Amino acid sequence: MVSLRINNEVKNFDAPPDMPLLWVLRDILGLTGTKFGCGIAQCGACTVHLDGAPVRSCLLPVGSIGQRAITTIEGVGATGVGAKVQKAWLDLEVVQCGYCQSGQIMSATALLNATPHPEDSDIDAAMAGNICRCGTYVRIRAAIKHAAEA
Amino acid sequence: MGGSLVVAFHLPFARSAPAQKPEFAPNAFIRIDAHGKVTLIMPQVEMGQGIYTSIAMILAEELDAAFAQVTLEAAPPNDKLYGNPTFGLQVTGNSNSIRAFWLPLRKAAAAARAILVQAASQQWKVEPTSIRTADGEAVHEASGRRLAYAALIDRAQGLTPPKDPPLKNVQDFKLIGNPLKRLDTPDKVNGKVVYGIDAMPPGVKFATLAACPVFGGTVGHVDDAKAKSLPGVRQVVVLNDVVAVVGDHMWAAKQGLGALDIRWNEGPNATVSSDDVWKQLRDASKTEGAVAKSMGDVAKGLAEGDLLEAAYEMPFLAHATMEPMNCTVHVTPTTCEVWVGSQVLSRAQSTAAKVTGLPLDKVTVHNHLIGGGFGRRLETDMIASAVQIAQQVDGPVKVVWTREEDIQHDIYRPVYRDTLSATVSNGRIVGWKHHITGSSVIARWLPPAFQKGIDIDAIDSGADIPYDIPNLRVEYLRDEPPAVPTGFWRGVGPNNNVFAIESFMDELAKKSNKDPLAFRRDLLGKAPRLKAALELAAAKAGWGNPLPPRTGRGIAAQTAFGSFIATVAEAEVDADGEVRVHRIVCAVDSGIVVNPDTVVAQLQGGLIFGLTAALYGKITIDKGRVQQSNFNDYRMLRINETPQIEVHLIKSGEAPGGIGETGTTAAPPALGNALFAATGIRLRRLPIDRDILSGKKPA
């Protein structure tokens, strides 16, 4: 039996300790907002927060998490910065197909929590791990700056 | 028959329930119920291009519905009602949704509005011409009477729609032309959106699979003892060409797959390499092709003036949609239910029917918002495999391809070789011959469109070249590569033609000692819209302004997908041949624009998609296998490498042009020309070769 704190709720379930959090979220808990893109932490679609820090859940074994707080895309909007990021994403119409955007928003929110007024180089460093095949990068950058000012 | 996904943006997400009172359904695209709910049925699929919103805008405009109140619903599989007029079947692709549906949707909505006006005129006993409509209401100004559409639907039921309803004048548009917020995006920022891969029918099991690493190979022997002993592994399904593991979750399925000992029959393709592919293509390109276009006397033209000859080559490319291939299926003895994201909904249904042998009305397909199409989801191979697996599984099973299987078992953008010969004299082109060699996707995907050896897609933007050329021949020769399956990839035919032509135009400009902008401009006498786009892009880019050393500007002009676009790229090359793209400026004439913001977004995104291909994209073959496997070795452009992008829209009253693929085709030649300007080195193959740019290898 594994017990995890996810979006301020305790979830109990059965899973092998080496099972990545991504699949627990999606297949066991039905939280499908976190996406599978590559399985090797190259694309960022699976990004969640662990005690506020961005992590790639596709390579995060549930046995290693302990009591640390997990936030997913389903819960990040309940935070001030998360809500600002989501609003900026819609204000600037960042989204095209949207599949990568859960990960983008999680990475962007973590960035703004750590660096409230990021420079372009901060944005580059924080967001380079999130691939967008539709090419929404121009608007992602603008939306991060927009959220920072909100 | 079939199913439908109800995507409600102002009401709770729900399946369409049977109406309590009769709804007004004047045509396949519009339903209005007694409560005033206006449901718009989407014939095309939303994969990020914003088409749901644009189609809703077109319908709501002519209907005069209150846009804030509309609900969208995906069309069920039904070619007769929802087929793309260009293709005769349900297809979202070729940047053609608005071009194909612009008039049909406007007419359908205008006819619906006309019936509602007629109903109001009967109710009020006034002339229809005295009634105006707005925001879902009919209004009789003279008496101040108004009725919501909902109040008119009973009376409207018995009325006959006019065959040729008057359409609004462009200047009277209230919605069309405005950057309205997209209807599908709110749920894409909060985790609520459901893609095919997120489908969770009750009791679903999870599967992943492996195909033979060598193209066309089959399963020889499977030792599944270890796999079956792993916790969470439920079942191993062995088909002729793939092996799947079914488990309690994807992790168990993946672990199980990794624990299988599979011996493959590699088959006849086990020695095929990229060298074989190029040799075959180059040999084939020496043979005359079918003539796609002929003007004047090409032999005479090519004997007059200064001759230049060049050959351009493009590699296989994978689609790498962010949502990997997946399909969820539940097969019972009498039914088949499918959850998927498909660009070809009726083909998805017929594929499932074919595999199961069930009649169409027992096959339900739930289409979904798509996490990247790019042409990959114009195919139904993933559906066929998933149905075959599901036939051996009790209950629903979600089959998800790993990224490695997705990249190594794609249906690839073909290799192309374009050979061009032309003569120039006094800054003008005298003779021009363009020979296109490559796979014909059309011959496989839509055989009736492949006639007399001509693939209409492979010659697209090649045969209809916009420049003033008195003696011209464009030929196409079909050459199918060994082993590798080919399909449509964003940009399709224009990808190779625009790259080859715009690179060659730059080379001809150099040969003529003319500036690349001036050379093109002076040859666009018959193409005023493209000429205007060219001049605008150049002006906005500051064409001619000085640049630092090793930095160059390149320009490319294209007529593609019914739109006229000019693109200027600014790129810098360092001593190691590494490229930094600083800025791209684009001017677009796409006729009447439904939603300008989606046009800008598609250009921004498309340019990045094309840049990715030009900088990094290649799929190589060795021993019959794809060498690339995931994003570590099939590289994608990321935010830190993205240039500044400016898009300028030209206002036009012409018929709408297509946009979805235009940025993809524009970026590579603009980049290639910028790299030439920066280094004096001409790259005739993609992706760019840094060793050539740095001088380590000859061009």
Express each pLDDT in A5-59 by its tens digit: 999 999 999 999 999 999 999 999 999 999 999 999 999 999 999 999 999 999 9
Give the per-residue pLDDT at B4. 38
Does the distance separating the beta carbons of A23 and B251 come in below 8 Å? yes
Q: Which residue, B55, B50, B57, B43, is CA-closest to B177?
A: B57
Q: What is the pLDDT of residues B142-176, one digit of tens each?
A: 999 999 999 999 999 889 988 899 999 999 999 99
Cβ contacts of B369 on chain A, cutoff 8 Å: 97-98
In this prediction the pTM is 0.96
**Which positions 80-139 of A are in contact with B (Cβ < 8 Å)?**
86, 89-90, 93, 95-102, 105, 123-125, 127-139
Percent of chain B with pLDDT strictly greater than 70: 97
Measured in whole angstroms, how far is the alpha carbon of residue B611 from the centre of its chain? Answer: 16
Q: Is the ipTM of this complex over 0.95?
A: yes
**Which positions 46-65 of A are in contact with B (Cβ < 8 Å)?**
none
Q: How many angstroms separate the CA of residue B214 from the nearest CA in chain A?
A: 21
Residue B552 near residue B561, CB atoms below 8 Å: no
Tokens of B591: 């006729």
Q: What is the pLDDT of residues B430-441, one digit of tens each?
A: 999 999 999 999
Q: How confident is the model at residue B20 (pLDDT cuts 50, 70, 90)?
A: low
**A19 → closest Cβ in B48, B190, B251:** B251
Q: Does B645 touch chain A (CB under 8 A)?
A: yes
Q: How far apart are CA B675 and CA B551, in angstroms?
A: 8
Give the per-residue pLDDT at A84. 98
Q: Which residue, B410, B381, B377, B383, is CA-closest to B398?
A: B383
Residue B99 near residue B656, CB atoms below 8 Å: yes
Q: Which residue, B560, B558, B555, is CA-closest to B539?
A: B555
Q: What proportions of chain A, in percent to the nearest 5, are helix, strand and coil?
A: 45, 15, 40
Cα nearest neighbour of A19 on chain B: B251
Cβ contacts of A28 on chain B, cutoff 8 Å: 249
Cβ contacts of A136 on chain B, cutoff 8 Å: 601, 604-605
Cα nearest neighbour of B490 on chain A: A134
Greatest distance between any 2 Cα atoms in chain A: 44
> Residue B355 corresponds to which amino acid?
V
